Structure 1
Amino acid sequence: MDEGNTVRAVRNSDQGILVAEVDEPEGPGVRLAVASAGLCGTDVNFAAGGVQGYTYGHEFAGTTTDGRSYAVEPTVYCGECDQCRAGHVQRCSAPEHGTLGMFRDGGICDAVTVSENMLVQLPPGLDVRDACLVEPTSVAVHGVRSASLEKGERVAIVGGGSIGLLAAARQRGFDVDVEVRHEHQRIAAERLEAGSAAGAYDVVIDAAGSEAGLARCAELARPGGRVVLLGVDQHIVPIPGRCQPGQGTHRRPLRRLPQARRRPRHRTGRSTARRQPRDRAGGDHPPAPPRRRRGGLPGGG
């Protein structure tokens, strides 16, 4: 960190991503020296879309002046509205609701000041240098829980990024396969004892957040199977289905998590919980435009 009244921070500019000198963090809260920070697909998409004016990063961890280490839950919430009181801080209705690192300063910098209620103390044995993975892990864990897995079920995960691989790690003990795009993702999946996706599955988890990824989920799900959406779509995408003469439009049952980390068009490669109500660490993200309804859903209009 610099000795003056500035710190280094990663920001976007007309010249692209750069390390800028910004004012020291001020205001109420707890000061953290940032020890680790992750790049989410959201950050990449925001950068590609030219979004500027704040420090990037919502996956980060650091150490306080007294030497204690914390991961940061990046959701900004009031704690007083009905949603917060019910435990759904990711759906806070207060005007200040939002996410650090999304249109407000985040954690890819030397130091930050955050509210005490955002701190998640690390357990013994978890290195703060790895703790930037706490936020995406919370998304993956929530998605797996929402899948309501039963003994003997086959599980496929579409997407080999951090959330997809973390979801695979969380499901060890089940028959889990992962569909990936890159060789390094395949190597990581194999280390988690996950195979390659093929055949029909009881549960399919979308960790890609693309139209092609969602279509692949529908292909992999058996009739009556369950699809959990963890990916972040950047625009309206059709829900894959098939039409049978005389029976209308039939779609495979989809389970969309209530707070499905949907972010505006600017984001990227997608994560992420960060990104669904998080299991403590995590948060919500700005909502995406409403989906266009195409045809009727079973039991719907």
Structure 2
Amino acid sequence: RAGSRRDRDRDFRRQLSIDTRPFRPASEGNPSDDPDPLPAHRQALGERLYPRVQAMQPAFASKITGMLLELSPAQLLLLLASEDSLRARVDEAMELIIAHGRENGADSILDLGLLDSSEKVQENRKRHGSSRSVVDMDLDDTDDGDDNAPLFYQPGKRGFYTPRPGKNTEARLNCFRNIGRILGLCLLQNELCPITLNRHVIKVLLGRKVNWHDFAFFDPVMYESLRQLILASQSSDADAVFSAMDLAFAIDLCKEEGGGQVELIPNGVNIPVTPQNVYEYVRKYAEHRMLVVAEQPLHAMRKGLLDVLPK
């Protein structure tokens, strides 16, 4: 079992490789014509990733998407859930492509059309003050002891906010309680709320039950991915599909949600997701990201609201 856990941990940290083949979206031809087509679930993930990668690096969208598809399913789910994580991986892939082009001479760089894009990557490096990848820098950030991260972030649709836990210090939680009081005053005086909150946040403030469908308003991209996972569990080859995906009851969180790998159930990293338990996985996934991650800030906001509007 210890060996299995080490294997899964290593899989979660899988790195990008320049040797992977470019991704071919369905809009550019029938993927089934490929002599070695991708598994259906990988092709589906690629179709979701490709337009987002194309918006960041249009000249190399196919190559970078192909590189990303070699990551573990857990890492791919994180990229679909977090724009910052995806951008960091795209920047990392661009650095690998540029380094590969330099090693193979200027002609190789010209053939790949890398010269136009290399300046942008160099600007990113200068902005971060180092030639290391953005991913490396995020992992190496030192802890200064402060809890000054923004109080809210936008997990899905722009303009809709969810509490960001940070380090859950007393001062930070007091800020959330004060925000709850401001919301209470808005309701008391019939004023417009100065911030648009995600649906599950409003439900928590009102004391209503949060359910799976609220996740569609929290992170619509990930909601659709999990919905497709449920549909896959009902197919005739469900066991083979889930075996190939190699998902476990553990997820990688983006930095806004605390970062790192967390287990959805005890020993979850060693418990595979199967067609039989996929409903539990989806429920635990949505519950963790919406409620568990921000449990203390949500509780503080509700407490502040009730300071102004008692039950």
Tell me, yes or no, whether TM beats 0.5. no
- TM-score normalised according to structure 2 size: 0.29
Q: Which has the larger radius of gyration?
A: 2
Higher helix share: 2
Higher strand share: 1
- TM-score normalised according to structure 1 size: 0.29
